[in-house]
Structure 1
Amino acid sequence: MSAEPATAAPLSISERRSVVRQLSDQRLSARAIAAKLGVGKDTVRRDLEALRQDPPPPAPTGAPVACADQVTVAYDDKLRADLAVLAEAGLSPEGAIRFAVGIVSYSYRAAWERGICPRGVAPLIRTTTARPGSQKEATA
């Protein structure tokens, strides 16, 4: 039984155009962009033409989250319920959030480094693996 390589879910048109914009800003050719994204150069040329017609989104205002000293998150029923589950395993709300963000950021970095999707594009995370253990083991 042979294992098939993992493939990334196809990008939506808006996601692809966002990546095309980023790579074009880095002065990559349509052919190079097409090779990176696994699409035809004509698709990239159509995306570039559409982007010329559609101005880039405005730059975000304020400090980026990565640079902020504090992050505010709405404490809604879903988050409350999710944190309650993690509290059953002995995690504080802060510890649970740090742990969860660490898992997701690790998955993003791994997808980018393995070329599953272009850097800056959020990969689709389909599954996680769990086994008996403790958070201390996972973060060690």
Structure 2
Amino acid sequence: MRIEALLFAGVAGFFFVAGLVYAVLSEEPAGTAALTVSFLMSLLVSGYCTVNHRKRGDRPEDRKDAEVRDRCGGLGFFPPRSGYPPLTGLAVALTALGVVFGLWLFVIGAGLLVAGVVGMVLEFPARDARHNAPRNPP
């Protein structure tokens, strides 16, 4: 994340200089505020990348001698089939229609939405830890 931190620090520097020049040469406060917020947001991202780099060290992307297999890991857990995503989609549609047609439909949709989201979250609580563990490269 070292390269990303430097990239966003450069972007923050650009917005800082552009904001100063804009504030001095213009009389519009909205543009100055927008450039100031842009400077602060890019500085925030740069700070996050810097802290993340200090905590975790170099990634394989940061090293010149790294290979593609250094980055590989577990792909995750993908359930075979589930009825909760269609239920959640139907619940979102009913909730949106409830905003238009009445509170009774909104309440039904919100109840189904809670059931669908909780069902998706808790559907596979006992899956093995090996699904999330990163694979060792050969």
> Would you say same fold, with TM above 0.5?
no
TM-score, scaled to structure 2: 0.23
Bigger CA radius of gyration: 2
Greater RCO (CA < 8 Å, at least 6 residues apart): 1
